[in-house]
Amino acid sequence: MTPPSRELSLKLLGSVPYCDRLPAGRLLPPVGIIPGDMRSLSELHLLLAPDDRSLPGVNFNTLVDWVERVIGDRELADALRETVENTTSYVDGCLKVYELVGLRLTQAREVAGQEVLT
């Protein structure tokens, strides 16, 4: 992906209004499916971080639409769309989305002059 503009970078690193939140959850046995809306890409990145006790819950189609419509990053949305259409499993999709979103956040932080976290 090409580096985002400064304006888009700030948007990528910010939060969206409550009404624009992305529904998501987490399957944590034996607790069950725990709801947890997303209001930023960095939240989404943490949700998707690999964890041996639980699985993230997200609808890929809704996610791609949210990135394009709410976050306003068409390039990331296109990359995500292509990625989720070519995964071997839901978990594989989560891992690839995690990597892509992480990459985009890194790009945005570099452009915005923020510390790049790992």
Partner 1 sequence: MPLYGYAGKILRLDLTRRTATAIETEKYLRWGGGHGMGSALFWDFCRDKTITDGRHPANVCCIMTSPLNGTIVPSAGGRCEVVGVGVGMYPISWFTRSGFGGRFSTMLKYAGWDGIVIEGKADKPVWVDIRNEQVSFRDASGLWGKDTWTTQHEIWEQTGIQSETKHPWQDLRELGLLTKGHRSGKDQGQTTQKSAILAIGRTGENQTAHASLIHDAGNGAGQGGFGAVWGSKNLKAISIMGTGSIRVADSKALIRARMVTKEKYVSSWERPDLRSWTRLGGFPKPIIQVPPPTQDRRPQSCQGCINGCRTRYNVGYGNESACQETAWYGPFARKVAKTPAENIEINLKAADLVQRYGFNSFLFQTGLHWLEHLYEEGVLGPERKISSKLPWKEIGTLGFAEKLVHALSTRTDIGADMADGWVQAAVKWGREKDLHTGAMQFSYWGWPEHGYDPRAELEWGYGSIMGDRDTNTHCFNQIFTTVSAAFAFAMPIRIEAEEIVNLHARKLSPYAKGRPEVLDFSDPNMYSEAVAQLVRWQQHYCRFYKQSALFCDLKWPDFYNTNTPNMEGATASHDAGEQVFWNAVTGDRLTFEDGIELGRRIWNMDNAIWVLQGRHRDMVHFAPYVYETKYEKGELFPFYMWPCRDEKGKWSYTDLMGRSLDKGKFEDWKTIFYRLEGWNTKTGWPKRSTLEKMDMGFVADALKVAGRLGDEET
- State the residues that interact with partner 1 by CB under 8 A: 15, 18-19, 23-40, 42-43, 46-47, 49, 52-55, 57-60, 62, 88-92, 117-118
Please give the Cα distance from 84 to 81 (Å, whole number).
5
Q: Phi/psi at 94 (nearest 5 deg)?
A: -60, -45
The CB-of-2 to partner 1 minimum distance in angstroms stands at 25
The CB-of-17 to partner 1 minimum distance in angstroms stands at 8
What is the 8-class DSSP label of residue 1? Answer: -
The CB-of-76 to partner 1 minimum distance in angstroms stands at 19
How far, CA to CA in Å, does 1 sit from each of 34, 76, 94, 101?
33, 7, 19, 11
- Which CB sits closer to partner 1, 75 or 95? 95
- Which CB sits closer to partner 1, 2 or 32? 32
What is the CA angle 12-100-64, rounded to 5? 70
- Which CB sits closer to partner 1, 63 or 77? 63
